[in-house]
Structure 1
């Protein structure tokens, strides 16, 4: 058993009962091939929740500061996280993320770039659109609905793939593609609240 699988099982055993997690739409995530999962961001726990509810292993970008402590950096790399410098173009992180997709894996992103304090969806950064356009990935919108403090179940909804063919064909801008992805996340939030 890999460390990723072990960590996923341990986190699932803790998080599912604690937050009464309910998952919908897992069948929308393809069994194979490159996938880009784009989710809203309401808590530091979101990467764990997306990681344990998705049917496939996910690679996440994580802020570079988390890798400064050797032990934590080692662990994060073992569970498929890789560093990204925030607030600037990090070519190495971009290459690594595109490599994840080229190798037919799943890349998880939070296009807002930072947590929403209000729970309302904020404007997404162009990075999500960049990865969607520069790869053949199936783009799956994901909505985390509820609150980690509520007694209500936390719901994770995976939507149908974002139609990318026309956007790729007419060479839409990265920001335009991100806006389309964010629109699909908003629809999931609106329809499931």
Structure 2
């Protein structure tokens, strides 16, 4: 199972996290977020191991702005955490392929999950994104630290791999293996592993990594 740590900002914290070798590291380019990355240190980002997929998180951003950030920070993946449509995702993918034909940029589309969520809404996205991300539905577009009822995922009948997000913590991570979720691709760790917004507790993350990678 892949591990994504999101909401990184501090250069030293980024370097320390890299030592744990997460599969994905997320930078939030959403100005209203408490974990807004601002202008990340390019020298630090360029020193990260190739095994870490640097991911830019965007909320209802313009395609040109996303592509500019992908190019500027050499991103490996784009996470769309707003109300982006399947048409938007297709246009973004087409533009990325046109501008960067050699480099494969993954697209992750996040959805806020709540009781009564209709998983049929995901069908139009199947051919235009690489992964889904299921998070707790909030007005803040993620980072709430609130879990949704994981039993809702039993209603997902698709075959697109997905990340699980929303309130993951050292206490509930062991429960994930008991869920039997066939298409669970990775987990997304954020607010429950912070000393303050944008600053991760490396020791807590290390414990979580050990739980997942046993």
Which structure has the highest helix share of the two?
1
Which structure has the highest strand share of the two?
2
Same fold per superposition (TM over 0.5) = no
- Structure showing greater relative contact order (alpha-carbon pairs closer than 8 Å, 6 or more residues apart): 1
What TM-score, normalized by structure 2, do the two folds share?
Answer: 0.34
What TM-score, normalized by structure 1, do the two folds share?
Answer: 0.36
